[in-house]
Amino acid sequence: MALEKEIATYNAKLAELKQHEGKYVLIQGEAVIDLFASYDDALKEGYKQFGLTPFLVKQIHAVEPIYYFTRPITPVRKTA
Amino acid sequence: MPHFTLTLDAPGPVVNAVVAVSDGRRQALEAAQQPVPTQQIVRALIDTGASHTSIDPTVLAALNLTPTGTIEIVTPSTGTGTHTADTYDVDFKIYASAEDTPLAISNLRVSACELFLKQGIHALIGRDILSRCVFIYTGSTNSFTVCF
């Protein structure tokens, strides 16, 4: 799946990242690049540093939020 | 306050929307001397039962997007557990007609979910966008209004 390595890095670093809950972390591969106050700023830096190479922007949560849909839609993941 | 009023469609409150690559991705494509995909015009259903805006993967594929995140979602089709959906950053505009001021959102994080293409619906507008609007559903006149 896409971003598999970056998600693994996020999960591995979550204990340290939790102190920055609410901020946005930029991760590429196994590297935590930086923390940002906004999604826009993290994306901007991601595209600036990595261009079209995949990177992850994720808001830090101690407990992962769940998004609800009342319609029976099917979530999709892209293969890497 | 810009606003538009439309007639309710058979599936419900449906608007035209334009989905395009985000500014950051556009710059990255240009730097790599790759073509910028043409923006996609879609029909989007306003869905107060969706906590988040979602777009069908066929639209995202037409924009040749790469995911920049994931979220955990619950739907009636996923049962009691959560499922992971990729998320993408897009520029998103909603409008009633070309003359109207669109509701424009840059770097909107949307999830990829298979929708109801047979019903002509390519996107669900969730409460993340509605949090920026006043949405009035006037069943008695078979219309709805979006103010932003």
Would you state the pLDDT for residue B101? 87
- B10-64 per-position pLDDT tens digit: 889 999 999 999 999 999 999 999 999 999 999 999 999 999 999 999 999 999 9
Residue A19 resides in a domain? yes
Interface contact flag, B77 A74, Cβ < 8 Å: yes
Chain B residues near residue A65 by CB distance under 8 angstroms: 71-72
Task: With respect to residue A36, please indicate whether it lies within any of the assigned structural domains.
Answer: yes
Name the residue facing A47 among B27, B74, B109 (closest C-beta): B27
A75 within domain boundaries:
no
Q: Would you call A73 an interface residue with chain B, using a CB distance cutoff of 8 Å?
A: yes
In a domain, A79, yes or no: no
**Number of domains observed in the structure of chain A:** 1
Tell me the per-residue pLDDT of B112-135, one tens digit each, with 9 for 90 and over: 988 777 778 999 999 999 999 999
Contacts of B69 in chain A (CB under 8 A): 3, 56-58
User: What is the C-alpha separation between B136 and B54, in angstroms, rounded?
Assistant: 21
Using pLDDT thresholds of 50, 70 and 90, give the confidence band for residue B100: confident
Residue A66 touches chain B, beta carbons under 8 Å? yes
| Nearest CA-CA partner of B24 in B87, B109, B107, B110 | B107
The order of strands in the sheet holding A24-28 is: A31-36, A24-28, A56-59
Per the CB < 8 Å rule, is A67 touching B28? Answer: no
Residues constituting chain B: 148
Query: With an 8 Å Cβ cutoff, are B24 and A48 in contact?
Result: yes
Does residue B79 carry a pLDDT above 90? Answer: no
pTM here is 0.93
ipTM of model = 0.93
Are A40 and B114 an interchain contact pair (Cβ–Cβ within 8 Å)?
no
Closest Cα in chain B to A65: B72
Domain that holds residue A48: 4-59
Task: Report the gap between the CA of A33 and the closest CA in chain B (Å).
Answer: 14
The conformation of residue A40, written as its DSSP 8-state character, comes to H
Coil vs helix vs strand at A61: coil
Q: State how far the Cα of B28 lies from the Cα of B23, in Å rounded to an integer.
A: 9
What's chain B's average pLDDT? Answer: 93
Rounding to the nearest 10 degrees, give the CA dihedral for residues A65, A66, A67, A70. Answer: -160
Lowest mean pLDDT among A52-56, A70-74, B11-15: A70-74
A69 in any annotated domain: no
Is residue A80 in some structural domain? no
**What does B3-58 look like in DSSP terms, one character per residue?**
EEEEEPBTTBSEEEEEEEE-HHHHHHHHHTT-PPPPPEEEEEEE-TTBSS-EE-HH
Is A65 an interface residue toward B (CB < 8 Å)? yes
Contact between A77 and B112 using a beta-carbon 8 Å cutoff: yes
Asked if the Cβ–Cβ distance from B75 to A69 is below 8 Å, we say yes
Contact status, residue B129 vs residue B108, Cβ threshold 8 Å: yes
Question: Is B34 close to A52, i.e. CB distance below 8 A?
Answer: yes
The CATH number of the domain covering residues in B14-131: 2.40.70.10
CB contact under 8 A, A71 and B124: yes
Distance separating alpha carbons of residues A22 and B2, to the nearest angstrom:
32
Indicate whether A23 belongs to any domain.
yes
Task: Calculate the CA B18 to chain-centre distance.
Answer: 8
Q: How many CB atoms lie within 10 A of CB B91?
A: 18
Is residue B94 within 8 A of residue B44, CB to CB? The reply is yes
